[in-house]
Structure 1
Amino acid sequence: MAGQQRIPLWLKIAYTIMTLIIIPVYWHRLGPTNFLWFSDIALILMVPALWLENRLIASTMAVAVLLLELSWAADFFSGGQLTQVALYMFKDDTAGLIKLLSATFHLALPPVLLLMLIKYGYDKRAYPLQIIIALIVIPLTYLLSGPEQNINWVYGFGEQRTSLSPLVYLPLLTAGFILLIYTPSHFIFKRLFPPH
Structure 2
Amino acid sequence: MAPAAPSRLPLALKSLVTAFLAVMVPVYYVNYGPTNFLYFCDISLLLCFIALWTERALPASMAAVGILLPQALWCLDFLGELFGVHLVGLTAYMFDPNRSLFLRGLSFFHGWLPFLLVFLVKRLGYDRRALLAWTAVGWSLCLIAYFLLPPAGAVMADPKIPVNINYVFGFDDAKAQTWLPGPVYLLAWMAVLFIVCYLPTHLLLRKLFRRPAAASPAHGIDSGPVAGLGPA
- TM-score band (shorter)? over 0.9
Partner of 2:170: 156
Unaligned runs of 5+ in 1: none
Q: Which has the larger radius of gyration?
A: 2
Q: Which range is displaced more, 108-117 or 178-187?
A: 108-117
Unaligned runs of 5+ in 2: 155-162, 214-232
Partner of residue 192 from structure 2, selected from 171, 176, 191 = 176
Q: Which range is displaced more, 177-186 or 74-83?
A: 74-83
Partner of 2:100: 95
SS of residue in 1 equivalent to 2:136: helix
> Once the 2 structures are TM-superposed, how far is the Cα of residue 76 of structure 1 from its aligned partner?
1.0
For 1:119, the aligned partner's letter is: R
For 2:74, the aligned partner's letter is: W
Provide, for residues 152-186 of structure 1, a one-character-per-residue CA deviation record: whole Å limited to 9, x for no partner.
Answer: 00111144631133211111111111011101100
* 2:63 is the alignment partner of 1:58: no
For 1:150, the aligned partner's letter is: N
* Correspondences of 1:116-127 after superposition (within 5 Å): 116-127=120-131
Provide, for residues 42-74 of structure 1, a one-character-per-residue CA deviation record: whole Å limited to 9, x for no partner.
Answer: 111211110011101100010011111111111
SS of residue in 2 equivalent to 1:48: helix
* 2:209 is the alignment partner of 1:193: yes
Aligned residues: 195
User: Would the aligned equivalents of 1:69 and 1:110 in 2 still touch at CA under 8 Å?
Assistant: yes
Partner of 1:110: 114
For 2:168, the aligned partner's letter is: V
* Correspondences of 1:47-86 after superposition (within 5 Å): 47-79=49-81, 81-86=86-91
Partner of 1:135: 139
Distance 1:171 1:182 in 2: 15
* 2:49 is the alignment partner of 1:33: no
Distance 2:123 2:194 in 1: 25
RMSD: 1.7
> Once the 2 structures are TM-superposed, how far is the Cα of residue 2 of structure 1 from its aligned partner?
6.4
> Once the 2 structures are TM-superposed, how far is the Cα of residue 82 of structure 1 from its aligned partner?
2.5
For 1:161, the aligned partner's letter is: A
SS of residue in 2 equivalent to 1:79: helix
Distance 2:105 2:48 in 1: 20
For 2:166, the aligned partner's letter is: N
Q: TM-score, normalised by structure 1?
A: 0.93
Partner of residue 7 from structure 2, selected from 5, 8, 30 = 5
Q: TM-score, normalised by structure 2?
A: 0.79
Distance 1:7 1:89 in 2: 31
